């Protein structure tokens, strides 16, 4: 009795055609997604927890609250308020993004592991955190450079906040002393979430 070995060269031509079409479709989908992603979000940063690249385009269509954080600051307790916002509004389309930075007062001296452990054990932080980087000066990361350009305001201290609408176009800036439960911040947040909700209903 003869046995036949299936080699890759003996596969039906339709297999190759199907594979090629799938590859083309995948590339096309990636290009379309990139075009749909607002320019402001076309940045990638390593995750604080595991160092894996996190493309900010994954948050397109969301309202984003961006905060430069520090573990040894007078405003560090705002972590609790930020996490409370995250839990209350994430199902409505809010994403809080933390950017640890040692730019102010040497108040974030630890490495990624220490920062992640502190955030988890002290404030039970669950919102996304990126690896430590510069948020001011010539070495500031490109995302913060663009936020500064759009608002004409740069962080003056830890826990400065930028609120970005679902379209990635409107950006509002709030100084460090504006707490996560501050009326001014919440009013802007509610307006952006309502605008996002109306868009979702239309589509």
Mean pLDDT across 29-43? 73
pTM of the model: 0.83
Is the Cα torsion angle 145, 108, 46, 92 positive or negative in sign? negative
Residue 172 backbone zone (phi > 0: left; psi -120 to 50: alpha; other: beta): beta
Beta carbons within 8 Å of 159's beta carbon, 6+ residues apart: 67, 68, 69, 70, 73, 75, 76, 78, 176
Domains of the chain: 39-202 (3.40.30.10)
Confirm whether 57 is a catalytic residue: no
**pLDDT for 49-106, tens place per residue?**
999 999 999 999 999 999 999 999 999 999 999 999 999 999 999 999 999 999 999 9
> Do residues 63 and 41 touch, judged by C-beta distance below 8 A?
no
Q: Single out the catalytic residue among 37, 57, 73, 119.
A: 73
């Amino acid at each position: 009795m003869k046995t036949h070995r299936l080699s890759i060269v003996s596969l039906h031509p339709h297999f190759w055609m199907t594979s090629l079409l799938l590859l083309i479709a995948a590339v096309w989908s990636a290009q379309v997604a990139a075009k749909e992603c607002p320019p402001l979000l076309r940045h990638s940063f390593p995750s604080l927890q595991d160092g894996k690249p996190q493309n900010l385009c994954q948050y397109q269509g969301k309202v984003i609250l961006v905060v430069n954080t520090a573990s040894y600051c007078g405003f560090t307790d705002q972590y609790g308020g930020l996490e409370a916002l995250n839990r209350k509004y994430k199902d409505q389309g809010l994403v809080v993004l933390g950017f640890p930075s040692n730019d102010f007062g040497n108040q974030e001296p630890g490495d990624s592991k220490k920062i992640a452990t502190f955030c988890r054990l002290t404030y039970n932080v669950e919102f996304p955190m990126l690896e430590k980087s510069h948020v001011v000066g010539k070495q500031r990361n490109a995302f913060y450079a663009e936020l500064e350009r759009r608002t004409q305001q740069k962080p003056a201290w830890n826990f400065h906040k930028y609120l970005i609408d679902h379209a990635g176009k409107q950006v509002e800036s709030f100084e460090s002393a504006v707490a996560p439960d501050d009326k001014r911040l919440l009013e802007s947040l509610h307006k952006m979430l309502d605008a996002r909700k109306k868009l979702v209903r239309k589509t």
